[in-house]
Structure 1
Amino acid sequence: MSLDFSVVPDYFGILWTGILWTVLITVLAGGISILVGIAIAVATLYGPRLLAFPLRGVVFLFMGTPLLLQLYLFYYGLSQIGIMLPAFWTGVVGLGLHYAAYNADIFRASLQAVDPGQAEASRSLGFSRSATLRFFVLPQAMLTALPQVGNNSIILLKDTAVLSVLGIAELVLNAQRAISETYRPFEFYFTAAILYYIVNLAMEFLLRKAARKAEAIR
């Protein structure tokens, strides 16, 4: 059977819907991964040791197990104990927590890289420990962590394809729906790959601009 890309334009609407859902999931899950990652990093470095130890255990658990297994655990496992999560929010939260574990390590290293003398100078000016962390240490750490966190966000975008197993109408699942009607897998998977690549290029462009601005601030 020869290739026939003429069938793709008829299904561009469903593919466009899929890419919009993919971007939305990336934004929401990426936001969770950053916020939770910062919270874990701060808690493990500045919180009580009684809290830091289990948090490190949770980080290793998320980093050491497959994303797909974690999604199944959230979606099917929690339902056994009466916690029913919609597929969409299971995917968003699951992706967010998975990448929060990786971002937590990045933020922790970035916080430790901030010159301790700056914190001491802030304290000598009368700032409390929490104010020093909030206004001096954390902003510098975030600027340092930006490139690596940005790279994780791009990987997260590509991992949204895993959510198709939960029936979430992201790009891959919508491409599969088009294939089920046309029996043209190569054409639609190839088109989906091109759309992913375009979004990746857009993200890389925005991240480069953000990195340049961060470098200028520093």
Structure 2
Amino acid sequence: MTTWILAVDDDLHMLNFVSTELRHSGYEVIEAGSGEQALVCLNSKKVDLAIVDVMMPGIDGFELTRILRKDYDLPVILLTARHHIEDKERGFLAGSDDYLVKPFDSKELMYRVKAILRRYDHPVEDTLTIGSLTIDFKSYEVRSDQGILLIPLKEFELLALLASKPRQVLSRDLMIERIWGIDFQGDEQTVNVHIKRLRQRLERFAPDVQIITVRGVGYKLEGNP
């Protein structure tokens, strides 16, 4: 599947650098020299991620980020030449997923792009079914023969991640990155606690679906046909 990334920067040298690195890594890129041009591009093409410069005339990066999150539900990486903590705060309050200070290494950019795309990798279907369990991404409900179960968001996201890759072992590090983000300050115990709670719920609600521990690696979800 082709991944499209929108790169927005009024500095043509930086725009070319970012676009070139993305294309070398196999991504398709749409380039825009302003916030206004970026919005025009989005009218004709669906993209998976936006990389946006903060300091632009007209619609600046903060405002564009708010629009991209609110109207297009797009993940955003903000680029800035300033180290001010206030800029980082404004960026995250606007809805950005990550923040890079110029100049940055191309490897760091690609690491962050890949991490965010993995975090937003979710099934295109509205529901996932494993065993007697159905996970509804629209209503955030979990259903089985026992009825409907509403669980905390992080537990729902963990369950959905496991169900999206049935019988595949997922590491704790991967779960932390996907569910809590690459900047999470906690440790693996956070995952273990959430898994324990999920197991207790499934034992009563869908006993044919089990979270299996693979010692030293992580967890996998299995359900009877």
Normalising to structure 1: TM-score of the pair?
0.31
More helix by share: 1
More strand by share: 2
The structure whose RCO (Cα within 8 Å, separation 6+) is larger is 1
Structure having the higher Rg: 1
TM-score, structure 2 as length reference: 0.30
